[in-house]
């Protein structure tokens, strides 16, 4: 990209900018901010796609971020999507910089699901002040969205949709779409409703537009439209969309009345968020760690490290129990980490596959049992193969076939247990309604370390002494 900050890019290129060019642009904007050349910065950010502007705001220093927010205040009402693209922590920081009436203006221009997502994490006093500045109709929609459980379909849905009586014709429907001023900006399906406002079917917009004006919607209607209860967890919603290839789906209350619609773009965000959250939880970290202060990041990781400390103490206690054995056969101290490391890595491989299977609803009943049996078999095969290799190396290294036999046998047992534990622990935690992505790693580390040390040192005490 040969453009400078003085020559802002066109809007067409801004929305599809490669990551490298975006990073270079951000560097140049930061240089212009450092030099106090605010006119150059303002000209450039005025042409940025909302997603790119959100990336810029996230990566800027807080002081520079405040400067840019002051520059973009006038355009936030016209481009409210900027706030919906932001990380939660940065978004809350920017909302705090705006006046309540400015935030209210942005919320009014947003689709309802994005508006609910913006205000749901604010403290109650700030939220009430902002909602009070909104028009009554828009405020009521946001308040109703907030009444649903967190991470539910009710929070995820947007109220803007197209719902018409099933006895309408294609012509009447098209005329309605052309003249109505309350339609969503983007929609994919037209829902048909009965007199009690319950969805009875739907038709893709493309199918309606290809049909003659005299055709009744009832003749185009697909009755197999899957309705989503408002209190359904968003992960279940994502599963339904993936399983059945849905583009949009109606959300209903307990009585079956149509409340709103969930579209595939919202579900893509849910899938990405859930996958990132599970991945980070496996490591005991959070998405906010990248942007939060040193003190907050240290505090959030302390509890995870504390749990791992307790599991390490338990493993050390096993080693201490065989202190006399280790004192007589010093080679055991050299070889112990090999057994524990192999068991931990093998267990983590199985655990990762199992957690993914649970997240995608692919493990249940017999498939879960087959998974456990398969991982035990895999552990046994790899255990035998590595037992031969490690046993031979240890026997030659210490000129003692007995040590080679002990570590080989311990390797087989440890890898079998690792495969079993890596599959069973997430399944059990799932049954107990505990997030496997959060807790599996701690339990697995404890099991593989304790079993690995106990098996290796126990066999050594029994065979070598």
Distance, CA of 336 to CA of 403 (rounded, Å): 12
Could you give the 3-state DSSP secondary structure of residue 223?
coil
Token look-up 């050299």 returns 334
- 318: its two tokens: 């096993």
Cα angle 118, 120, 125 (rounded to 5 degrees) comes to 105
pLDDT score at 15: 44
d(CA 260, CA 161): 7
Decide which of 139 and 328 is more confident: 139
Q: What is the pLDDT of residue 49?
A: 81
- Burial class of 361 by CB neighbour count within 10 A (0 to 12, 13 to 18, 19+): middle
Tell me what the mean pLDDT of segment 203-212 comes to. Answer: 90
Which residues, other chains included, contact 257 with Cβ-Cβ below 8 Å and sequence gap of 6+? 196, 197, 198
Most confident by average pLDDT, 83-87, 195-199, 365-369: 195-199
pLDDT at position 1 is: 38
In this predicted structure, which of 47-56, 195-204, 366-375 has the lowest mean pLDDT?
A: 47-56
Residue 174 scores a pLDDT above 90: yes
Give me the pLDDT at residue 18, please.
61
The beta strand positions in 49-198, using DSSP E, are 163-165, 189-193
Q: What is the mean pLDDT of residues 410-415?
A: 94
26 versus 340: the higher-pLDDT residue is 340
pLDDT (average), residues 25-44: 83
The confidence band for 11, taking pLDDT boundaries of 50, 70 and 90, is very low
Lowest mean per-residue pLDDT among 49-58, 242-251, 255-264: 49-58
Banded pLDDT at 290 (limits 50, 70, 90): low
Q: What's this model's pTM, rounded to 2 decimal places?
A: 0.63
Average pLDDT for the chain: 83
What is the band of 7 on the pLDDT scale with cuts at 50, 70, 90?
very low
Q: What's the 3-state SS for the chain?
A: CCCCCCCCCCHHHHCCCCHHHHHHHHHHHHHHHHCCCHHHHHHHHCCCCHHHHHHHHHHCCHHHHHHHHHHHHHHHCCCCHHHHHCCHHHHHHHHHHCCHHHHHHHHHHCCHHHHHHHHCCCCHHHHHHHHHCCCHHHHHHHHHHHCCCCCEHHHHCECCCCEEECCCEHHHHHHHHHHCCCCCCCCCEEEEECCCCCEEEEEEHHHHHCCCCCCEHHHHCECCCCCEECCCEHHHHHHHHHHHCCCEEEEECCCCCEEEEEEHHHHHHHHHHHHHHHHHHHCCCCHHHHCCCHHHHHHHHHHHHHHHHHHHHHHHHHHHHCHHHHHHCCHHHHHHHHHHHHHHHHHHHHHHHHHHHHHCCCCCCHHHHHHHHHHHHHHHHHHHHHHHHHHHHHHHHHCCHHHHHHHHHHHHHHHHHHHHHHHHHHHHHHHCCCCHHHHHHHHHHHHHHHHHHHHHHHHHHHHCC
pLDDT at 436: 81
Exposed (0-12), middle (13-18) or buried (19+): which is 324, by Cβ within 10 Å?
A: exposed
Task: Name which of 374, 341, 340 is nearest 357 in CA terms.
Answer: 374
Quote the percentage of the chain above a pLDDT of 70: 89
Residue 5 has pLDDT above 50, yes or no: no
- Mean pLDDT for 285-304 is 62
pLDDT recorded at residue 4: 37
Is 380's pLDDT higher than 90? yes
Is residue 24 over pLDDT 70? Answer: yes
**Once rounded to an integer, what is the mean pLDDT over residues 129-135?**
89
CA 126 to chain centre: 27
Q: Provide the pLDDT for residue 361.
A: 73
3-state secondary structure of 202: strand
Q: What pLDDT does 193 receive?
A: 92
Instruction: Give the pLDDT confidence score for residue 79 in this predicted structure.
Output: 75
- Which of the four pLDDT bands, split at 50, 70 and 90, describes residue 296? low
Mean pLDDT within 277-291: 58
Tokens of 355: 């957690």
* Best mean pLDDT range from 67-76, 80-89, 171-180, 360-369: 171-180
The DSSP code for 226 is: P
**Residue 167 contacts by C-beta under 8 Å, 6 or more apart in sequence?**
216, 217, 218
> Distances from the Cα of 432 to the Cαs of 113, 361, 428, 435, in angstroms?
31, 16, 6, 9
Structural domains of the chain, with CATH: 11-149 (1.25.60.10), 163-263 (3.10.580.10), 293-463 (1.10.357.20)
CA distance 390 to 434: 37
pLDDT in tens, 321-377: 888 888 878 888 888 888 888 998 999 899 888 887 887 777 777 888 888 999 999
Q: Is the pLDDT of residue 277 over 70?
A: no
Tokens of 150: 């967190």
């Amino acid at each position: 990209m040969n453009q400078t900050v003085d020559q802002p890019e066109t809007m067409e290129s801004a929305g599809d900018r490669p990551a490298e060019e975006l990073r270079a642009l951000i560097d140049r904007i930061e240089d212009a901010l450092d030099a106090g050349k605010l006119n150059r910065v303002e000209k450039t950010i005025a042409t940025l796609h909302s997603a790119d502007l959100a990336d810029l705001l996230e990566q800027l220093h807080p002081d520079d971020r405040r400067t840019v927010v002051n520059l973009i205040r006038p355009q936030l009402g016209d481009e409210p999507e900027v706030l919906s693209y932001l990380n939660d922590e940065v978004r809350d920081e920017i909302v705090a910089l705006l006046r309540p009436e400015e935030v209210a203006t942005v919320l009014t221009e947003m689709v309802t699901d994005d508006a609910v997502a913006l205000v749901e994490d604010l403290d109650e006093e700030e939220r009430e002040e902002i909602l009070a500045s909104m028009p009554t109709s828009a405020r009521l929609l946001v308040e109703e969205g907030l009444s649903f459980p967190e991470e539910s379909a009710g929070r995820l849905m947007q109220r803007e949709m197209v719902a018409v009586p099933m006895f309408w014709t294609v012509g009447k429907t098209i005329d309605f779409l052309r003249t109505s001023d309350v339609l969503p900006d983007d929609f994919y399906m037209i829902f048909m409703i009965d007199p009690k406002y319950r969805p009875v079917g739907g038709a893709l917009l493309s199918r309606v537009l290809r049909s003659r004006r005299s055709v009744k919607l009832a003749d185009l209607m697909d009755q197999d439209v899957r309705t989503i209860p408002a209190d359904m967890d968003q992960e279940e919603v994502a599963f339904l969309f993936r399983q059945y290839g849905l583009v949009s789906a109606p959300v209903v209350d307990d009585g079956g009345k149509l409340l709103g619609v969930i579209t595939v773009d919202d579900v893509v965000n849910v899938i990405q968020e859930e996958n990132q959250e599970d991945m980070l939880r496996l490591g005991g970290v959070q998405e906010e760690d990248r942007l939060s202060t040193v003190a907050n990041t240290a505090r959030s990781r302390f509890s995870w490290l504390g749990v791992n400390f307790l599991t390490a103490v338990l493993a050390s206690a096993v080693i201490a129990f065989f202190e006399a054995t280790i004192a007589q056969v010093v080679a055991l101290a050299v070889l112990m980490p090999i057994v524990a490391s192999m068991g931990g890595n093998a267990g983590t491989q199985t655990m990762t596959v199992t957690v993914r299977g649970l997240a995608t609803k692919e493990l249940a009943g017999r498939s879960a049992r087959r998974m456990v049996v398969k991982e035990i078999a895999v552990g046994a095969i790899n255990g035998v193969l590595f037992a031969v290799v490690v046993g031979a190396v240890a026997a030659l290294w210490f000129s003692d076939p007995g040590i080679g036999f002990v570590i080989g046998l311990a390797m087989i047992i440890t890898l079998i247990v690792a495969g079993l534990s890596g599959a069973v622990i997430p399944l059990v935690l799932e049954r107990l309604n505990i997030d496997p992505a959060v807790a599996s790693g701690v339990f697995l580390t404890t099991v593989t370390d304790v079993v690995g040390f106990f098996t290796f040192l126990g066999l050594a005490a029994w065979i070598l002494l």
